[in-house]
Amino acid sequence: MDVIRPALLDDAPAIARVHIESWRSTYRRLLAADFLDSLALSEYTNRWTRFIGDGTSRVYVAEDGGAVVGFASGGHERAGEVAYSGELYAIYVLDAFQRRGHGLELVRAVVGGLQEMGLDDMIIWVLKDNRPARLFYERLGGIYVRTQPITVGSASLEEVSYGWPRLDLVRY
């Protein structure tokens, strides 16, 4: 049975595994192999333990057959975009579990979490060259906001933001 639920501290290692595996598969053409190979499970587990534990954001996991196969997180907008108060920080689903509705349901969960936090709009940043993710956000009704440079490891890239001026405009 597939389940979307709030993340628990005990989920941090599974979230870290999904995070790293997703980065390695999604960004292998965009980022240096040595950078992707250097992503450490213990580091990401510690990061997600802190992130879940601080309680200032919302983190959700997608389970398939009892295993965590995806996650999403969101909270207050972090980069000073004046038109947006909420942000979808991250959403990743393992390749083998994509196109099964987990992504849509994770977005739905984050939107609900943002609403619980009193936020009524949302922005997300995505690498410009990550075309599948950009198409996903466009299908959800995201409106192009702007592009900015970003450095990831040794790579200089561009990221694009999509926004929803009202959360009820997200198209599931």
pLDDT of residue 2: 82
Which of 86, 80, 74 has the alpha carbon at shortest distance from 146? Answer: 80
DSSP letter for each residue of 106-161: HHHHHHHHHHHTT---EEEEEETT-HHHHHHHHHTT-EEEEEEEEEETTEEEEEEE
**Could you give the CA distance from residue 15 to residue 168 in angstroms, rounded to a whole number?**
28
Reported confidence tier of residue 104, pLDDT bands at 50, 70, 90: very high
pLDDT digits (tens, 9 = 90+) for 45-100: 999 999 999 999 999 999 999 999 999 999 999 988 999 999 999 999 999 999 99
Q: How far is CA 80 from CA 10, 31, 73, 112, in A?
A: 32, 26, 18, 22
Reported confidence tier of residue 1, pLDDT bands at 50, 70, 90: low
Name all domains of the chain by residue range, CATH numbers in brackets. Answer: 3-169 (3.40.630.30)
* Model confidence, pTM: 0.95
Cβ atoms of 42 and 64 closer than 8 Å: no
- State residue 80 phi and psi, 5-degree precision: 85, 25
Grouping H, G, I as helix, E, B as strand and the rest as coil, residue 12 is helix
pLDDT of residue 91: 98
**Could you give the CA distance from residue 32 to residue 11 in angstroms, rounded to a whole number?**
28
pLDDT digits (tens, 9 = 90+) for 108-167: 999 999 999 999 999 999 999 999 999 999 999 999 999 999 999 999 999 999 999 999
Cβ atoms of 144 and 162 closer than 8 Å: yes
DSSP assigned state of 43: H
